[in-house]
A and B are shown apart, each in its own frame.
Chain A
Amino acid sequence: MSYGQKTEMVAMLLAGGQGSRLGILTKDVAKPAVPFGGKYRIIDFPLSNCINSGIDTIGVLTQYRPLELNAYIGSGQPWDLDRLYGGVFILPPYMDGKGGEWYKGTANAIYQNMNFIDLYDPEYVLILSGDHIYKMNYDLMLDYHKEKNADCTIAVIQVPWEEAGRFGVMTAASDGRILQFEEKPKEPKSNLASMGVYIFNWQKLREYLNKDEEDETSDNDFGKNVIPGMLHSGENLFAYEFKGYWKDVGTIQSLWEANMDTLDPNVPLELNDPPWRIYSRSSNMPPQYIGENASISNSSIADGCKIEGTIENSILFPGVTVEKGARVSNSILMHKVVVEEGACIGYTIVAPSAEIGRSAKIGASEGDMSGKVHDEITVVGEFVKVGEGVTVPAGVSVGEDIFGEEAGR
């Protein structure tokens, strides 16, 4: 079946991962639904990049805890993705006559949805992941892909050498042709890391996905199997170097850092960018109210917040309340968090709807450190209540309500 109308490029967004390194932040939501940057969720970035790049047909592959993500994406209207033809589709694993199974790997997820892609009969398929914060014009990458007459183009970015081992790393010739690709090598030969953004010629990818599925020893993964397989068979693979802000927010530390980057004028991640807006579902809250006793510096505060306390170098999502005498510094307070009188929060990520009781002390105080180099971020989980006067030391994750004097595990 096909609609008989051709779409040049269909995007497939891999959003099924748990993001287990984010700990209690992804206990109930998939990683792409994790809040970011004061009003967004991680998935707003690839979705907005798509629509800003002129891509309006997107499949979102979900598997882990999809409820919140499904509800968030809805009809796709906030991203202008409610279309007569195309738009955004949630693609969970499904059953068919022969049975059906979970997505075994990234490549298998696409393999199981080949019919969806065929509906739009595209020339190219763009593979994305819902794990990264970046603003990128995929249309320019497509131009490059066509210009190089490539079968597959991989977006790459230079990363510090010591981090290269965490990524798929490639060596490329001066014209961009990929000579070697290694997934998470122990001794990286290059610092050009894959961003997890691929453009494939659809017919070529189709062929390799079928091959990969037949291979029972395969992990059905793009980085481990499909791309090395194509390289081995002598296909034309090119690296497209991206020069801009790109951050994998897979850990508590990197999530905190990337959030703080939005407050740093020296970091090239400007969210206030009307031609390249990041769209998100509106919280429908009234504007924020800043009270008589508030003191705010270098912070980002969203709709619906009520602030009576002191806020420094922090990011407050919609609907946060900070009472009189409370002090929040270098922290991220997600939707509807309440910080009661006299509480003190430093270097902490507080997940949505958590409540911090009177005079509680969470995380490191700013006296302990200066600047942004800090590796002991405290986390308070969703809906968790921290009782009056409780102290939670730096670097601890609080997943359950705590009262009294002891700290959570």
Chain B
Amino acid sequence: MSILGIIFSYSERENLRELTRMRTIGSLPMAGKFRIIDFPLSNFVNDGIYDVAVIARENYHSLMDHLGSGKEWDLMRKRGGLRVLTPYGKSESGRNGLYRGSIEALSNNMHSFRRSLADTVILVETSILHSMDFNYLAETHIESNADITAVYTRQLNGYPTVPMGVAILRFNEENRLYDLSINKDDMSCQDVCWSTGVYVINKSLLESLVADAMAYGKYDFNEDIVHRLAGNLNIQGYEYKGHLLEVSSVAGYMKANMNFLNPVFREKAFQKPIYTKSKDSVPARYFTGCQVKNSIISDGCRIEGTVENSIISRNVIIGKDAVVKNSIIMQNTEIMRGVHLNHVILDKDVIVRENRQLSGHVTYPVVVEKASII
């Protein structure tokens, strides 16, 4: 068995406001120095899977810039390696390359998957982060004789409800999927199996299912393959019991980042290395008078002020007497002296001038768009 990993670098159900206006969710910074896509990519590489395709849809400039040739993830290879698949205009669709759904995204890139020597495909989405043993998952898939293995979880990890827009899966006593519904309202669903967006499927089966669906004008993998064909296909469930982070909303994104302040979680998340683009920044520099507590700080930072319960990306400058609490600060941002920030997400390249104050709430953080000057 050899495996091809396919990562959707975008999410159809995310609502990240300003954070994804200029970028796709895969290139959103995470846990200080990383981008979200680093997690699934590293997961594949750590499990010895060196054949990975990343499907991009729109706003993928920053994603391409981040991924480059894939060498930082050890994915610059002749056999397999990283393939970034960007949309191209297809005349008959008349839609200038914007996929109408995940099936069309797969269909338009099938020529690339066909070239891969792998026989098994693992589909992954980027709005849910986890660290899964993909080899064990694929073995389970083969042993169970399933057509498709759908990975679900029951846990909420402290989120009040099942995230909006995810698929809720129902299995019979033989662990075979018989129903799928999309979580459309905010009700508190307890003890349901919800999809992590990870599916395992034989590559040639994927190819024929996608071709069929396209022929009937069906475009959504969850709805039009998993749900519609549940009666005909043997779709088996696989429960993921490890920790996971859901980042499709701003509050979820904030919470996901804050999770990295928990030592137990951090230990697990970084048990195997997470690779990312190297920036060759200098180590972080702490000046006399700085006060840093319970925070993640990345290289290249220069800190003179106070930082508490926050996640700070690379090359951030925090001036004297500035106070940053419960916030996420992305790279190359400068916070000048005397600034107070609480529950704020500052995107890249932001400048906050002297003595400004910004404060959000844990349920609704203030988001400041890339390159703003306040």
Residue A216, interface by CB 8 Å? no
Q: Given A39, A282, A295, which contacts B283 in the complex, CB threshold below 8 Å?
A: A39
Residue B71, interface by CB 8 Å? yes
Mask for A129-152, Cβ within 8 A of B = 1, else 0? 000000000000000000000000
> A297–B288 contact, CB under 8 A?
yes
> B278–A282 contact, CB under 8 A?
yes
Considering only residues 279-321 of chain A, those with a C-beta below 8 Å from chain B are 279-280, 282, 284-292, 294-303, 311, 315-316
> If A39-B283, A297-B288, A300-B283 touch, does A286 touch B278 (CB 8 Å cutoff)?
no
**Which of B148-156, B181-189, B232-240, B293-301 is near enough to bind chain A?**
B293-301
Residue B90, interface by CB 8 Å? no
> B293–A297 contact, CB under 8 A?
no
User: How far does the alpha carbon of A8 sit from the alpha carbon of B143 in the complex, in Å?
Assistant: 61
User: How far does the alpha carbon of A300 sit from the alpha carbon of B299 in the complex, in Å?
Assistant: 10
> A287–B300 contact, CB under 8 A?
no
> B297–A284 contact, CB under 8 A?
no
> B298–A38 contact, CB under 8 A?
no
Mask for B104-145, Cβ within 8 A of A = 1, else 0? 000000000000000000000000000000000000000000
Number of interface residues of B (CB under 8 A): 39
B245 to chain A, nearest CB (A): 15
Residue B191, interface by CB 8 Å? no
> A302–B283 contact, CB under 8 A?
yes
**Which of B93-101, B211-219, B269-277 is near enough to bind chain A?**
B269-277
> B278–A78 contact, CB under 8 A?
yes
User: How far does the alpha carbon of A303 sit from the alpha carbon of B307 in the complex, in Å?
Assistant: 17
User: How far does the alpha carbon of A272 sit from the alpha carbon of B285 in the complex, in Å?
Assistant: 10
Residue A254, interface by CB 8 Å? no
> B71–A287 contact, CB under 8 A?
no
On chain A, the residues within 8 Å of B299 by CB distance are 39, 287, 302-303
Mask for B222-252, Cβ within 8 A of A = 1, else 0? 0000000000000000000000000000000
Q: Given B34, B280, B294, B300, which contacts A291 in the complex, CB threshold below 8 Å?
A: B294
On chain A, the residues within 8 Å of B294 by CB distance are 290-292
User: How far does the alpha carbon of A289 sit from the alpha carbon of B298 in the complex, in Å?
Assistant: 9
A interface residue numbers (CB < 8 A to B): 37-39, 77-78, 271-272, 277-280, 282, 284-292, 294-303, 311, 315-316
Q: List 20 A-B contacts (CB under 8 A).
A: A37-B283, A38-B282, A39-B282, A77-B71, A272-B285, A272-B302, A282-B278, A284-B275, A287-B31, A288-B297, A289-B263, A290-B296, A290-B297, A291-B293, A296-B286, A300-B282, A300-B284, A300-B285, A311-B286, A316-B283
